Amino acid sequence: MLRLPRSRTLAALTGLASLLALTFGVGVADAHGLVGRRDLPVPTWLFAWAASAVLIASFVGLGALWREPRLGRANERRLFRVPRWLEVPFGILGVALLVLTIVAGLRGVQIDTANFAPTSLFVALWLGVPFLSLLVGDLYAVLNPIRAVGRATGWVAGRIAGDRLPEALAWPERLGRWPAAVGLALFAWVELCFPGRGDPSQLAVLILLFCLVHGVGMSLYGTEAWVRNADPFAAWFGWVARLAPLRWDGGTAYLRAPGVGAAKERPVAGDAAIVIVAIGTTTWDGLSGGELMGTTVADLANDITGGFLSATWANAVVNTIFMLLAIGVVTALIFAGARGMISQRARDAAAKAREDGRAQGGPPATATLVREFAPSLVPIAVAYAVGHYLSLLAFQGQAILPLLSNPYGTLAEGDGGWLGAAGWTIDYTWLSSNAIWYLQVAALVTGHVMSLTLSHDRALERFPRKRAARSQRAMLVVAVLFTCNGLWLLSSV
């Protein structure tokens, strides 16, 4: 039988997990599920218990069979090489799509479904690029228009100024990737809270502001350092790509086991925040689409409407507060799981050493463990994204080519546009609701199992072997919580 340590942190987490699983199991069968999911051959509540059982079985199996760190030493196989000059046309393509998005937003019809800008930003970039990166590696690294413009500008400036060009400032090590984490939270705010998120012209202005900020940053700190640490899309998509079976290095493709890239990465300051923001904002996106939170937000927004707040901005304020709360709850859960890794004996010994005035290394700080184990959180964030946005990408993704053919939305009916696809319509029948549900559940379970595997492997590197498995019990409870929460979000939208 699996015995859990008697720490208050783990006891609280276990109780919360049991309560959530029980609530989910009893209530979901009568909840307002997604269309077409009430006729599933397997009751919805059974998925929650089955998924939890899979996680527990995986945890026990890892503890029994995975006795030394493997992923960090996993081999990669060289596949093929492509010419480095191909980065240039890919970069030009990225810049062209960026310019088209901005111009379409400013000059096209101001209808979100008929203008290329919203779909380009929220579907093609935010969903399409990371989903493809899970298969082919870091796609955004070669398409990144910000980096392409920065490199081109730097090359031209170097040719003109030569040695007179001032050296770039050194990036502050303590700052790490916190600017990217803040940028990711701001993008999520635009997507989920900003009243003008459906207005193409307002989105175009925000994109221009984004480009201006990054242009100034690259001029101060250099293109590579700035993009690596301050570009939210480069940072987040880079983490997603580390789960992919392909890695690209100087034009050479390497084959590796999925997740190895994340295991080999040594996180810096801000990396954990990037992943936490991704999980928290996706959680709020799912909650806000449900009847309960939708009604709550509307009621609270109605209460504060008036004075200097219009109804739309009152709604934005309430959504912002709840989004921040969701990020805060996710942060608290992850910190609780990290604190559960530290044995009570180690904490007591460190406290006694401090009281006695003796030098003592003590247990690692909780924040340090959160940063070190940040790679193991990436599969959870990706699982949430796949689970929540799969149907949006499957259907709205079909609008990318038609809108690319008619980016301004001004063509007459029957005109095929640039690519001849302007008249294409979305096929909502190619993927059934049941199929989407099964794929979403599979993504959630697979992501959380991969998370446990990465966390266990990192624990074997971080702790003595006998303590490694025990240190992960709290993280198992956190994984069960996230799994049940993810399934509940899917069933309550």
Give the type of residue at 191. Answer: E
Return the pLDDT at 294. Answer: 80
Domain range spanning residue 76?
Answer: 71-343+362-492
Q: Would you say residue 56 lies in a domain? A: no
pLDDT at 471: 72
Low-confidence ranges of the chain (pLDDT < 50): 1-7, 9-38, 344-345, 348, 358-359
What phi and psi, each to the nearest 5 degrees, are found at residue 393?
Answer: -70, -40
Identify each DSSP E strand in 105-260 by its residue range.
Answer: 246-249, 252-255
30 falls within a domain: no
The answer to whether residue 42 sits within a structural domain is no
Q: Is residue 380 part of a domain?
A: yes
Instruction: Report in angstroms the alpha-carbon separations of 322 from 126, 213, 283, 297, 416.
Output: 21, 27, 10, 9, 43
Distance CA 37, CA 100 (A): 39
Flag whether 224 is in a domain. Answer: yes
pLDDT value for 346: 55
What pLDDT score does 50 carry? 72
Report the amino acid identity of residue 349: A
Residue 1 lies in a domain: no
- Is 462 part of a structural domain of the chain? yes
pLDDT digits (tens, 9 = 90+) for 283-312: 998 888 777 778 888 888 888 887 678 888
Residue 459: predicted pLDDT: 83
Q: Residue 20 domain-assigned? A: no
> What pLDDT is attached to residue 131?
94
* Domain count for the chain: 1
**Per-position DSSP letters for 195-256, written without gaps between them:** TTTT-HHHHHHHHHHHHHHHHHHHHHH-HHHHHHHH-HHHHHHHHHHTTSSEEEETTEEEE-
pLDDT of residue 492: 63
